[in-house]
Structure 1
Amino acid sequence: MIGTLQCVVLDCHYPAGLAQFYAALLGGEVDRPDPRWSLDEAWSTVHLPDGRVLGFQRVEDYRQPIWPDPAHPQQLHLDIDVADLAAAERGAVALGAEVKARHGRWTVLTDPAGHPFCLVPRRAD
């Protein structure tokens, strides 16, 4: 095992509004302070009653998915907590992932089918 699922992140145009929608649909708390994320106009979260977290990320030129049109695919990614970013990156690449970008505190990779996911160093509580 390389890491644990931190949250599922959905791209959108208005993170706070989509977070409110999912909190009303599933229950939970919108934008609860959490040391793993900065909350601002580009990022919002819902902490669900079962402990899982949904993240909502602003994409300026967001294009809405159209089901089941592959020209407008589903848009989300997984954030995965890891103890050691460099070791996790090496392990994921060994499994077939490809590094796409490094953003200081996290690394963006794609799985063998091209789906993006992020490796994020675990923060001490």
Structure 2
Amino acid sequence: MLECLTKINWKKVGLFASGTLFGTAGIKVLASDDAKKVYTNCTAAVLRAKETVMNTVTTVQENAEDIYEGAKQINEERAEAKVAAEFAAEAEEEETEETTEDSEAETTEAEETAEEK
């Protein structure tokens, strides 16, 4: 009988017994009222942090919306300015064409008058 006791690895048995003891004590510690207070305080801190983060996110979203609206306004103004510039260029071309036609007509009239004389 003593032979089987010598074959047992007492180090492993001791580790198993210690683990069981600490595990049982750990469960009691984790389920205690003090531990519940710690859990409650940690949860409350997380909720406060969440509220702060959500307020920051809301502020950033509002600023992003303002920036987006400003960018849209700038693009609209540029588009209007481009259309106005194109319109002005077309009007200038038409005036140039009319002036050229008037000059050609005057030249033709001057030539006809010169031929008559």
Larger-gyration structure (1/2): 2
Name the one with the larger helix percent.
Answer: 2
TM range (shorter): under 0.3
* Relative contact order, higher structure (CA 8 A, sep 6+): 1
The normalised TM-score by structure 2 is 0.13
The normalised TM-score by structure 1 is 0.12
Name the one with the larger strand percent.
Answer: 1
